[in-house]
């Protein structure tokens, strides 16, 4: 279950990054469909990340291999916590910035064009100046989390490749089903 959620969330995150890069190159009406799809993937990432976190609580992962040094364990734990912050914080900040936008009044959130998703009520009823300020704040938070996500992805992939190619220590087998896993 953890492996399935890991790879599904990873694929959705990479797809959503691509969508964001794409729609940021557009203007006007052509921008709306990819933005709406981006929102749909974001909410899906949020729900799957909460499911993954719940699964992790119910079914903790095996301990890290004893061969890992203290700094590697600390780095792995730090990246793990920061990734959960991104996987949950980015969709929440995107949902909030959408809710605190005048656009929400005529372009509601519909997951995959069909499933209505509520806006965050109190944000939709702010006076116009407060709404703009709130929207701008959440845009900034969303952007900072995106920058953090880029950095975490680079660190995560580099560490995975290090374990797979250089160390060949079986750590990758913890998240890739066809690779042998390292023992604790």
Q: How many Å apart are CA 112 and CA 36, to the nearest integer?
A: 7
The residues, ordered by sequence, that sit 6+ positions from 44 with a Cβ below 8 Å of its Cβ are 12, 111
- Looking at residue 127, its pLDDT comes to 95
Does 5 score more than 70 pLDDT? yes
Q: How many Å apart are CA 108 and CA 119, to the nearest integer?
A: 8
Span 84-98, pLDDT tens digits: 999 999 999 999 999
Q: Please indicate, yes or no, whether the overall pTM of this predicted structure exceeds 0.85.
A: yes
Span 16-63, pLDDT tens digits: 999 999 999 999 999 999 999 999 999 999 999 999 999 999 999 888
- Looking at residue 132, its pLDDT comes to 96
Helices 2-23/32-58 angle, 10° precision? 160
The residues, ordered by sequence, that sit 6+ positions from 79 with a Cβ below 8 Å of its Cβ are 152, 155, 156, 159
């Amino acid at each position: 279950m953890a492996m399935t959620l890991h790879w599904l969330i990873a694929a959705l995150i990479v797809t959503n990054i691509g969508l964001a890069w794409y729609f940021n190159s557009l203007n006007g009406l052509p921008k709306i469909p990819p933005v709406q799809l981006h929102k749909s993937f974001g909410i899906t990432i949020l729900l799957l990340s909460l499911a993954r976190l719940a699964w992790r609580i119910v079914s903790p992962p095996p301990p890290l291999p004893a061969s890992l040094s203290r700094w590697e364990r600390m780095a792995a734990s730090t990246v793990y916590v920061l990734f959960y912050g991104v996987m949950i914080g980015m969709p929440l900040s995107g949902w909030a910035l959408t809710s605190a936008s005048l656009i929400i009044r005529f372009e509601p959130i519909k997951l995959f064009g069909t499933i209505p998703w509520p806006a965050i009520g109190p944000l939709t009823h702010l006076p116009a100046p407060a709404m703009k300020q709130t929207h701008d704040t959440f845009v900034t938070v969303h952007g900072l989390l995106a920058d953090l996500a880029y950095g975490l992805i680079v660190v995560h992939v580099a560490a995975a490749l290090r374990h797979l190619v250089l160390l060949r220590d079986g750590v990758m087998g913890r998240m890739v089903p066809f690779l042998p896993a390292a023992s604790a």
